[in-house]
Structure 1
Amino acid sequence: MNTIAVVILNWNGRALLEQFLPSVTKYSPEATVYVADNASTDDSIAFVKANYPDVKIIQNTGNYGYAKGYNLALEGVEEELYCLLNSDVEVTEGWLAPVLDLFERDPETAIIQPKLLDFKNKTHFEYAGAAGGFIDKYGFPFCRGRIMDTVEQDNGQYNDETEIFWASGACFFIRKNVYRELGGFDQDFFAHQEEIDLCWRAFNHNYKARFCYKSVVYHVGGATLDSQNPKKTYLNFRNSLWMMIKNLPAHKMLPVLFIRMCLDGVAGVRFLLQGKPALLWAVLKAHFNFYLRFFHFLNTRKSNKYENYYKTKSIVYKYFVKNGKVFDSQFNNSLS
């Protein structure tokens, strides 16, 4: 059995599989490649079976989204390491070797993200993960190489193996035993922010996440759900609030959540002023669902919560008030 499983979650993605699966099968000799299908109604699986007989098929019985889709698919995958790979990612020659080496050299590292570049603009980082992710005190995510909507060019400025707080779900490496110990992704999330929640839970269990610059992949981004889609806005705002209920230290939870919800209100007003009432409505619906399920997520909290979860107090303030568009040297300190 190979050490690593590359698992691609698919739902009606024949065109993406046709475009990107060739690079995965060509450049992943160290891995067993799986396509986990969320009950597609197109000919995705027929295409894979006809053209890639060595790729293993996992058939889910419904469209369970990213979180539950992967949880179900990975129940029977027994390789020691998992790579959860989006169907819209092009991998490069030798992409797995440095990741495998880093896992071997550092047993405390449980999660790894490769360098994530933009498939459509290959000199630049990709929005979804860039060179590894962090959050601020109020749960807003940002990356080395991408803060808010500003994406940097890759000039080698993040060529290191530094510790990060979260790894992008577009290409997410994790040890099998850690994934199972933590119970996998939170299935309530359906999609979006579930990888940050999982990384936060791993952090609270003293596991490390690292960035591996020697492994490079190219992500299309937005291929499954456009960034201006109200559904994506709803999921991001709702899931972020759920994640904070679950993972914030107890004495900080309510005051931090209150400020975060006020900031969400400002974002909603901004959407309205931009002529995007559907996005404002998505934020309102997210908050309503947050209230509806507050006690459910409160009951999922575990005892161990660490205070040093955030990289900076407010990335929103730094970006919009202090004009901090680039992940600069002020952030280059350890999370530990």
Structure 2
Amino acid sequence: MGNRPAELRRAITSVFEQEGADVEVVVVGNGADLPELPEGVTTVRLPENVGIPEGRNHGVRATKGDVVLFLDDDGWYRSTDLARHVRERFAAAPELGALSFRIADPDGGPDQRRHVPRLRVGDSRKSSVVTTFLGGACAIRRTAFEEGGGLPGEFFYAHEETDLAWRIMDAGYTIEYDAEAVMYHPAVAPTR
């Protein structure tokens, strides 16, 4: 967003602290100037805001990894073994196209049910097969992302994840909500 430099640094730090997996960090300035960032961060500066999905597409093009994790600038990873967990999940299941993470309140409040991408949410700490994922809290196998055609840039904001999810499933991949893969995000009222 360009107006949360402290939160962006926290997000980047949580990625660099990952253990047991190689990581690369790409930050997209989607019509926003980027603050000074730590060494090792690749930056992509877009002159105008092209929308969330197209901004993420630019970020994916700047990466090399087999699995891409998306993290919004106001979120961060709770544990240092998330990347290892994700790597192992994808290695164990070649048909797995995407993982949607559980979003937890860093202040200990309840998980927000609206962030669990399934009907009849029930227990947010229960993993399951799903038909969509959360764009700012997920991991996608690069081949699934590419076979699905990437995120629909023309959507600008909202529903881009579901569109790509269905194309990923059409390509023969599965999508799972993984309650053990946790991202912290401050609780936000859904009416914002």
Q: Does the alignment pair 1:46 with 2:35? A: yes
Sequence identity (%): 21
Report if aligned partners of 2:147, 2:171 keep a CA contact under 8 Å in 1: no
Q: Hey, what does 2:16 align to over in structure 1?
A: 25
Write the distance in 2 (CA, Å) between the matches of 1:182 and 1:11: 29
Q: Does the alignment pair 1:183 with 2:149? A: yes
> Relative to structure 1, is the Cα distance of residues 129 and 27 closer, same or farther in structure 2, using a 3 angstrom cutoff?
same
Query: Given residue 14 of structure 1, which amino acid in structure 2 is its aligned partner?
Result: P
- Aligned pairs (5 A) from 1:65-144: 65-91=51-77, 92-120=79-107, 122-130=108-116, 133-134=117-118, 142=119, 144=121
Write the distance in 1 (CA, Å) between the matches of 2:132 and 2:74: 20
SS in structure 1 of the partner of residue 132 of structure 2: coil
Report if aligned partners of 1:128, 1:168 keep a CA contact under 8 Å in 2: no
Q: Does the alignment pair 1:215 with 2:181? A: yes
Question: Deviations along 1:199-233, whole A, 9 cap, x unmatched?
Answer: 122223321001223322212254xxx7435xxxx
Deviation at 1:168, TM superposition (A): 0.9
Q: Hey, what does 2:48 align to over in structure 1?
A: 62
Write the distance in 1 (CA, Å) between the matches of 2:183 and 2:28: 20
Report if aligned partners of 1:129, 1:167 keep a CA contact under 8 Å in 2: no
- Aligned pairs (5 A) from 1:170-249: 170-220=136-186, 222=188, 227-229=190-192
- Name stretches of at least 5 consecutive residues in structure 1 with no aligned partner: 1-9, 135-141, 146-151, 230-336
Question: Deviations along 1:44-89, whole A, 9 cap, x unmatched?
Answer: x2331xxx11222122221112111111222232211100111111
SS in structure 2 of the partner of residue 125 of structure 1: coil
Report if aligned partners of 2:24, 2:63 keep a CA contact under 8 Å in 1: no
Q: Hey, what does 1:260 align to over in structure 2?
A: none
Q: How many residues align?
A: 190
Deviation at 1:26, TM superposition (A): 1.8
Q: Which has the larger radius of gyration?
A: 1
Deviation at 1:20, TM superposition (A): 3.3
- Name stretches of at least 5 consecutive residues in structure 2 with no aligned partner: none
Q: CA RMSD in A?
A: 2.3
Deviation at 1:181, TM superposition (A): 1.8
- Higher normalized contact order (CA 8 Å, seq sep 6+, divided by chain length): 2
Q: Does the alignment pair 1:167 with 2:133? A: yes
TM-score by length of 2: 0.86
Point out the structure with the larger helix share: 1
Deviation at 1:39, TM superposition (A): 2.6
